[in-house]
Chains A and B, each alone.
Chain A
Amino acid sequence: MAVMTYLQAISDGLRVEMRRDKRVYVIGEDVGVYGGAFKVTQGFQDEFGPWRVIDAPLAETAIVGSCTGAAIMGMRPVAEMQFADFVSCAWDHLVTVAAKQRYRAGTPVPIVVRCPSGGGFSGGPFHSQNPESSFAHIPGLKVVCPATPADAKGLLISSIEDPNPVLYMEHKHLYRRIKDEVPEERYTIPLGEARMHREGNDITLVTWGAMVYTADEAATQLEADGISVEILDLRTVMPWDKQAVLKSVEKTSKLLVLHEDTRTGGFGAEIVATITEEAFESLDAPVKRVTAPDAPVPFSPPLEKAFIPQVEDVVAGLKDLAAY
């Protein structure tokens, strides 16, 4: 196995799939000559040519809308949003067109929209958001949020293979910070299967994306106090692995959901509601959410730090639950 950064693993997954399947092409702003704003597609145009690594005009509506048309014609498009925030400009094409096409017209729309998401580097209100819950709410879409390099590769390949429109939220803060072993061959990871990140007995912590690492640090701190935290990395929020969460909550009787997205209507609300409905008898404490506050993502470092859930916020939440 090779050691790859999270970013290299995304590139590797995309390259493997493009080599294997001629129907796969990439379209986005600056993805060709420049290799993408974050260099995910660096060198791709040299290998695959300008008609499979397409530099698009600054037009997210046309980028995603055209992916739908091409997918219906049998292609497997992978669109890159330069930042996840800009996917708002393609809202109609995901929500109105792609998401509903299978249900109403019977036409599958196998597209992937890569969305570099998340904050932590003073990107400000328009380069830091985590829009997963907005899309998870739309029947017909799938939403993938990998946390590890190996998952980033396998989940990307699964997303491309999937016959549905998939939003692939790649967390920018993990791009070069996270390195791990990644299998060199092609492999897939089923969408909708959580990953047991850390086994524990006292509290279940459900999270995804960059928050997996925040959760892990918090759990390590609590270990010193004799509190054992089980961390489930959801990997995909739509579909989400309800069974894995139920199973863990039945064991621990306590649940904390952590996400970098804002609180109200965040995907944590859905998880908490479901667990309350289906595992009320298993709970020994009220469920808890640790999330960003209901505000835009601020720019200045102290404000951003106050916005994004920090290790100490998670530790405090876990301690509350442990003491209940």
Chain B
Amino acid sequence: MAIAREAEPVGSLKEVREAGLDREDLLAVYRNMLLTRGVEERGHILYRQGKIPGSFYTGRGNEAGAVGVATAMGPNDVGTPLHRDMGVHITRGVEPWRIFAQYMGRADGPTKGRDGNVHMADDRLGLIAMVSHLPAMLPVAVGCALAFRIREEKRVAVGWFGEGASARGDCHEAMTLAGTRRLPMVFVCDNNQWAYSTPTHLEYASETVADRAPAYGFEGVVVDGTDVLAVYREARRAIEKAREGGGPTLIECLTLRMEGHAVHDDAFYVPKEMFEEWAKRDPIERFRSWLKDNADLTDEEEDEIALEIKKIMNDAIKRADESPMPDPSTVAEGVYATPEDLDTPHHK
């Protein structure tokens, strides 16, 4: 028996309007999902062409979860998105060319070539760069929420993690601190069912990850992670509840990782039927048909958006490719911060 609440799907345009999105917002959500997939698809091609060093990770199948939650965040809210959450960076306004520059290890990427793939963030957009030790970002996000609580600001922190990351102690400690102090915090579990090759029953023994939430003193909710509108509605509820002092929520977005852990991994261990089943629930296709049925998305609009995305991608890759490689003589620079570094929006 699951303990967590199971979120209802979102039906009509009226419901969506009540949840706070007008037609223009819906098209922006659609556009952000396409941009997310576009960046990752084009990145994958660049990787195959040998233009991206290291490895390459995508969040295919997770676009609704990432974009849905980020759309529900307020401009002053902050978050710690992980490597399946490109949609968060896109929705918060990170320019695609900078993401490609990051992928390619160029000087103009957000980390200036010091770190790779999705290990990046623009702190002016309220994001904190992830580390590979994925659940480690949860206590960091909780610390943001603690800062807001100390200063009595109506801001919320969102921390992402996967069902694999949920197995580590960081997750437990973060939820313990957030729960005991009722911090303005939303935990988002991208449950894509595979942690590299490890299936869910070897990561957690409860029926859902969200089932744990009541043990920490807050609500857990499981949402269909391929339904961007349901994700948005639940995220908005949780964020506004946290903002008003109602404490944390754990939202578990159920999806399937539609590719390998990274592009070198063919995911042979995932049953073929599973991929076939979830391919039918592709979050972008799903939302496209919802828009057609409920928000009068026309073929012309669709073509226009597709063309626009294509142009953004082409321009972004070109601009990123023009960015220089970092200067090797700077290898040991910037290890320690200087007092001038504290002259940021957060440190005033």
Residues of A within 8 A of B (CB): 25, 27, 51-52, 54, 56-57, 59, 61-75, 77, 92-93, 96-97, 100-110, 139-140, 142, 163-164
Contact = CB atoms under 8 A, between A and B. Distances in A.
Given A62-B176, A105-B123, A69 B128 contact: yes
Contact of A163 (B80, B180, B337): B337
Interface in B31-58: none
Across chains A and B, which 4 residue pairs bring their CB atoms closest together, nearest first? A69-B143, A65-B139, A66-B143, A108-B337
Contact of A93 (B136, B176, B334, B347): B136
B89 to A, nearest CB: 13
B203 interface: no
A70 B132 CA distance: 20
Contacts of B334: 102-103, 106
Interface string B129-152: 101110011111111111111110
B177 A62 contact: yes
B146 A100 contact: no
Interface in B93-136: 110-112, 114-115, 119-121, 123, 128-129, 131-133, 136
Contact of B336 (A62, A69, A164): A164
B274 to A, nearest CB: 33
Contacts of B303: none
Contacts of B337: 102, 108-110, 163-164
Given A93-B136, A96-B136, 4 more contacts: A54-B146, A65-B136, A74-B346, A163-B338
A139 B337 CA distance: 12
Interface stretch (B15-23, B166-174, B207-215, B220-228): B166-174
B139 A62 contact: yes
B213 to A, nearest CB: 17
Given A102-B336, A102-B341, A163-B341, A107 B123 contact: yes
A73 B151 CA distance: 11
A93 to B, nearest CB: 7
Contact of A72 (B144, B150, B170, B338): B144
B202 interface: no
B226 to A, nearest CB: 30
Interface string B304-348: 000000000000000000000000000000111111011010111
B136 A62 contact: no
11 contacts: A51-B149, A62-B170, A65-B142, A73-B78, A75-B151, A92-B170, A96-B136, A97-B133, A100-B131, A104-B114, A107-B128
Interface range for B: 35 or more
Contacts of A66: 139-140, 142-143, 146, 174, 177
Given A65-B142, A74-B147, A96 B347 contact: no
Contacts of A101: 129
Given A51-B150, A108-B341, A69 B111 contact: no
A142 B338 CA distance: 13
Nearest to B127: A105
B159 to A, nearest CB: 9
B123 A72 contact: yes
Contact of A70 (B112, B133, B143): B143
Contacts of B121: 105
B157 interface: yes
Interface string B66-78: 0000000000001
Nearest to A111: B143
B147 A70 contact: yes
A108 B139 contact: no
Nearest to B139: A65
Given A57-B176, A73-B346, A140-B336, A104 B129 contact: yes
Contact of A61 (B132, B146, B170, B342): B170
Contacts of A75: 147, 150-151
A292 B56 CA distance: 46
A197 B138 CA distance: 44
A73 B148 contact: yes
Contacts of B344: 74, 108
A59 B111 contact: no
A64 B348 CA distance: 22
Contacts of B157: 69
A65 B170 contact: yes
